[in-house]
Amino acid sequence: MTLAADVLGPPAEDILPPLRHRAKARREHVSTAMLLAPPAIYFTLLFVVPLVVLLVYSFYTYQNFNFTAKLTLANYTEALTSPALRDFYFRTLKIAFAVSIIVVAVSYAFSHILMYVLPRAKRILYFLVLVSLFGGYLVRIYAWRTMLGRDGVVNSFLISTHVIRSPLSFLLNSNFAIVIALLNFLIPLGVLPIFSAMQNISPRLLEAAEDLGASRIRTVRTIVLPLTIRGIRAAFAFCFIATMAEWVTPQLLGGPLDQFVGNQILYEFGETLNWPLGAAIALTLIASVVVILGVLFGLLRLVTRS
């Protein structure tokens, strides 16, 4: 064994000895605070404060390509009632649901096969999925243009194998392209929580179920599924949030009528310079995502309990 393994050893409870003196105890407290302070200050200043500033800006007044610190609710009225925004919103919502459900289904089947059908290959396959996580966000989206374009890889392949005569045009600049690219980017993030939830199920439970004569489907329904529900929830929530706030994929792969709420936020920040409205749209979007997930998971709990 290496020295490091010797020293690190098995998991041990931390054995900070009882402090002997009051003065020493106070010194310990001070140094603990000093160690915690830098990250706490940094986190507050560059994460919490920016989000608070965004909230404040969402109440500012916009006029003539400029905004002033006069507080108003107009941005929220606009964000909640504009028919154009409503279209953007429901389009995004539809795709977010579709993508999240497909990701969970594909990742669940994938994890299940890794765990229970091909267990000898699970390490290498899981590693491959992890590696593909680092495949580059923008590069990956761009790659789908090469794949799905009019003269792209898919069309060329289908034409050269005589499956089709003329190139399929719905492949790129469409919802299809957006969904494919999102799935490609989110499936690894779906496999991650679901696989680790399955990993935590004791094989003995499954053996017991088998010995007691439960069918394979019944074992999945009564043991595996309830014990992996947290992983499923995490995967769904992550994909849903990520898709709802996406803007790069629709911009690069969607048609002009396939744009998301995120693209509208970008438009307000970049083109009209109406930052207050952009901030209000962004914050209502996130609030709605939280509410939707809350309701969904609440319903799920009711269903699984009964």
Partner 1 sequence: MSRERHPRRRGVLGRLTARTYVALVIFFLFAPLLIVVVVSFNSTPNMNLHAGFSLRWYRQIAGDPLVVAAFGRTALAAVCTAVISAVLGLSGALGAVRLAKGRWRTAVFTIPLIPLAVPALLFGVGLATFYHSVGVGFSIWAVIAGHVILALPFVFLVMGAALERFRFSLLEAARDLGAGTFTIFRTVTMPLLRPAVLGAMFLSMAISVDEFVIAFFTAGSQQTLPLVLYGRINLGVNPGLNAIGSVLLVVTMALAFLAARTSVLEIP
Using rule CB under 8 A, residue 203 touches partner 1: yes
Q: How far apart are CA 67 and CA 70, in angstroms?
A: 8
Using rule CB under 8 A, residue 18 touches partner 1: no
Contact pattern from residue 51 through residue 90 relative to partner 1, giving x for each residue in contact according to CB under 8 A and a dash for the rest: x-xx-xx---------------------------------
Using rule CB under 8 A, residue 132 touches partner 1: yes
**Cβ proximity to partner 1, 14 vs 306, nearer residue:** 14
Which residues, numbered 232-251, are part of the site for partner 1 (CB under 8 A)? 237-238, 241-242, 244-248
Contacts of 90 (CB under 8 A, 6+ apart): none
**Cβ proximity to partner 1, 6 vs 303, nearer residue:** 6
**Cβ proximity to partner 1, 158 vs 266, nearer residue:** 266
**Cβ proximity to partner 1, 248 vs 296, nearer residue:** 248
Using rule CB under 8 A, residue 108 touches partner 1: no
Q: Look at residues 305, 303, 274 and name the one whose alpha carbon lies nearest to residue 72.
A: 274
Alpha carbon of 215 to those of 119, 187, 209, 222, 272: distances in Å? 20, 29, 8, 10, 61
User: Closest approach of Cβ 28 to partner 1, in Å?
Assistant: 7
Using rule CB under 8 A, residue 102 touches partner 1: no
User: Closest approach of Cβ 278 to partner 1, in Å?
Assistant: 6
φ, ψ for residue 68 (rounded to 5)?
-125, 160
Using rule CB under 8 A, residue 273 touches partner 1: no
Using rule CB under 8 A, residue 40 touches partner 1: yes
Q: Look at residues 283, 288, 267 and name the one whose alpha carbon lies nearest to residue 75.
A: 283
**Looking only at Cα atoms, what is the longest distance across the chain?**
86
Q: How far apart are CA 111 and CA 199, in angstroms?
A: 9
Tell me if 152 sits within 8 A of 145, measured CB to CB: yes
Q: Is 7 helix (H, G, I), strand (E, B) or coil?
A: helix
Q: Which stretch binds partner 1 (CB under 8 A): 82-90, 94-102, 123-131, 225-233?
A: 123-131
User: Closest approach of Cβ 266 to partner 1, in Å?
Assistant: 8
Q: Count CA atoms within 13 Å of residue 292 on its CB side.
A: 17
